Chains A and B, each alone.
Chain A
Amino acid sequence: MTPSVVLVTGVSRFLGGHLAARLAANPAIDRVLGVDTVPPPRDLLRRMGRAEFVRADIRNPLISKVISNAGVDTVVHASVSANPGSSGGRTAMKEMNVIGTMQLLAACQKAPSVRRMVLKSTTAVYGSSPRDPALFDESMTPKDLPSGGYAKDAAEIEGYLRGFARRRPDVSVTVLRFTNFIGPRIDTVFTRYFALPVVPTVLGYDARVQLLHEEDALAVLERSASQDIPGVFNVAADGVMLLSQAIRRAGRVPLPVPSPAVGPVSRVFRGARIVDFSPEQMRLLNFGRVVDNRRLRQQFGFAPRWTTVQAFDDFVRGRGLRPVIGPERVETVERGVRALVGMLR
């Protein structure tokens, strides 16, 4: 069933904006409404084509009017933010994430036209601890409930959505738990982290990293908006890489920081507005988190085009990240070693 009127939240950011653009390119969809508190950047707005931008705050009951007036039948809630820096601080971020979602769900519950609800959630809801199984599937719950930050927001939002699904059983609800995004265009904490010339890591820990290419993420969001596939799905690429391996592939230099110094170091980075590390991201760098994407492949019917390593390599190529230690120097060292070996023999 193709939707006729789609509402996308968070269109001023990469995923929401490009999703709106993709949906607008589909002639079967009558109208695409994009909602956000700030207008999208100009190039994104141009891409969005016939999609209409509505400057509204989802925390405001006005959103209810937008939904009922336009007769929205599909809502893609993609505005849940992981980044306190760009949302104007942790308090504002929580307000926007949790209260905003509650308002949006309240408005949707009142609107009889709504038939489909898609939530962009995160695999952070599984937490990250040494007691985790190697792979999480959708039925598992975290060992330690996320105590704060984005993960807690996402867990609460999923809870509210479950409540909504109970009260409106006629609405098909899809929860997409995305892993960390990577790609040449998207801007996330992870992409900034790997773009640092010297990458701080936690001494003695080497997390497994699972990523998802931005194009795969958009394709999954588009598919969930245009087809009825209710359920909870982990959305992640196949395969994992180690954090140290990723840093090496990007040609960066790792800087292992002892655990007690991690807090101050991450504060320095946050203060300098280089990379916004939250405590849960630090835990992720300690223990990692990998999810099972079998249900995405079988039930949702989507196979990610990029594996984790391919997506990461595409990011490195697309950003034009040059190795800190250039290939010429590597060659010099190699020649030196070979000469030394020749002399020793």
Chain B
Amino acid sequence: MTEARVIPLHADDAGARRRWRLGGPQNGGPAPEPEPEPAVEAEPEPGAEWDELIEFAKRRLGGDYTVDDFGFDRELTDNVLLPALRPLYRSWFRVETIGMHNVPGEGGALVVANHSGTVPIDSLMTAVALHDDHPDHRHLRLLGADLMFRLPGIGTLARKGGATLACTPDAERLMSSGELVGVWPEGFKGIGKPFHDRYKLQRFGRGGFVSAALRTGVPIIPCAIVGAEEIYPKIGDIRPLARLFGAPYFPVTPLFPWFGPLGMIPLPSKWYIEFGTPIPTDTIGAAEADDPMTVFNLTDQVRETIQHTLYRLLSQRRNAFTG
């Protein structure tokens, strides 16, 4: 893999450029940054890692761990779920993050991003990005559709990974308790859109996320994800099968369902995740959350920001797979 090219994306923002230069080689270069876990493993005692593993297994099998009210299992997420996603993040999609300094190190915030890729891998990658590439290793609390929580296995894992249902009470509760919340307001319209509509933002729901942010006074961070559109190019939709499975769509990609399970392997596109300048909401006031005009305007502002960022990133991208 070649060294990441340095593209001046924020010509007006010197701090961002410096970060981008720092971040680029670290992600693409041969020497990955040392993780806290390897630092522990590198202790002089050779049996330490095994002891740790046995202790971990004992703790898990004895039920000796805590989950929060939403079912978020921090220990499992840090030690099992995130490591399972990391190869996909580092080697398969070679995700590069831009503007990580826009995400606050502590306190509530709402990350709003574009949704794409037929299967919601983009939300998982954003969660890995915010944990691995953020200096404070933040956990992103995803807001997901109810369909996800109905599915056996997936719904349970999602809850353990910190996700919860996309509804106002949950979003407000998380944000007011200082969590970083991630929302994909396009929903199924965005993730299931045909390939020829790629990088065209769909309607942003009813702006529920904006009123929730207004009510809790947390900043909104627009986030643009480039690369996820190409992992499963959806060129068709078999409606009867979708109805049969109770799914919103049954995708046809160049590889699926023709190649069976092989077709489920995502194409190795090169990803960029850019976090934009936070939009403060505490200056607007919680009372405005009930004013539809303010909410619509703010929703449009967020949507436009993401759309423009997407266009800019796309214009700088030469190839979907090599970046």
Contact = CB atoms under 8 A, between A and B. Distances in A.
Interface stretch (A25-33, A131-139, A223-231): A131-139
Given A134-B70, A242-B67, A206 B156 contact: yes
B283 interface: no
Nearest to A286: B152
Contacts of B68: 240
A130 interface: yes
Interface in A120-158: 130-135, 137, 140
Interface in A313-341: 330, 334, 337-338, 341
B155 A130 contact: yes
Nearest to A341: B50
B63 A246 contact: yes
A265 B89 CA distance: 42
A345 interface: yes
Contact of B65 (A202, A208, A245): A245
Nearest to B149: A130
B62 A249 contact: yes
Contact of A337 (B54, B61, B151, B169): B54
A133 B156 contact: no
B86 interface: no
Contacts of B54: 334, 337-338
B152 A203 contact: yes
Interface string B212-227: 0000000000000000
Nearest to B153: A204
Interface string B154-185: 01100110001101011001000000000000
B66 A239 contact: yes
B32 interface: no
B47 interface: yes
Interface in B62-84: 62-71, 73
A246 B71 CA distance: 13
Contacts of B150: 130
Size bin of chain B's contact surface: 35 or more
A130 B70 CA distance: 13
A242 B152 contact: no
B67 A240 contact: yes
Contacts of B63: 241, 244-249
B58 interface: yes
Contacts of B70: 134-135
A206 B66 CA distance: 14
B62 to A, nearest CB: 6
A309 interface: yes
A54 B150 CA distance: 48
Interface in B123-166: 146-147, 149-153, 155-156, 159-160, 164-165
Nearest to B147: A130
A133 B149 contact: no
Contact of B169 (A140, A244, A345): A140
A330 B60 CA distance: 13
A345 B148 CA distance: 43
Contacts of A140: 169
A132 B165 contact: yes
A137 B169 contact: yes
Contacts of A206: 156, 159-160
A208 B159 contact: yes
A288 B69 CA distance: 11
Contacts of A338: 50, 54
Contact of A208 (B46, B47, B67, B173): B67
A14 interface: no
Contacts of A135: 69-70, 169-170, 173
Contacts of B66: 239, 309
Given A249-B62, A309-B66, A205 B155 contact: yes
Contacts of A290: 69
Interface in B99-128: none
A133 B170 contact: yes
Interface string A34-65: 00000000000000000000000000000000
A241 B63 CA distance: 9
B71 A134 contact: yes
A131 B63 CA distance: 27
A160 B106 CA distance: 48
Given A134-B170, A345-B46, A205 B67 contact: no
Contacts of A91: none
A331 B63 CA distance: 17
Interface of A: 130-135, 137, 140, 202-206, 208, 239-242, 244-249, 259, 287-288, 290, 309, 330, 334, 337-338, 341-342, 345
Interface of B: 46-47, 50, 54, 58, 60-71, 73, 146-147, 149-153, 155-156, 159-160, 164-165, 167, 169-170, 173
19 contacts: A133-B164, A134-B71, A134-B165, A134-B169, A135-B170, A137-B169, A140-B169, A204-B152, A204-B155, A208-B67, A239-B69, A240-B67, A242-B160, A245-B67, A247-B63, A248-B60, A248-B61, A249-B63, A330-B58
Please list the 7 inter-chain residue pairs (A to B) with the smallest Cβ-Cβ separation, ordered nearest first. Answer: A204-B152, A248-B63, A249-B63, A130-B149, A130-B150, A204-B153, A245-B63
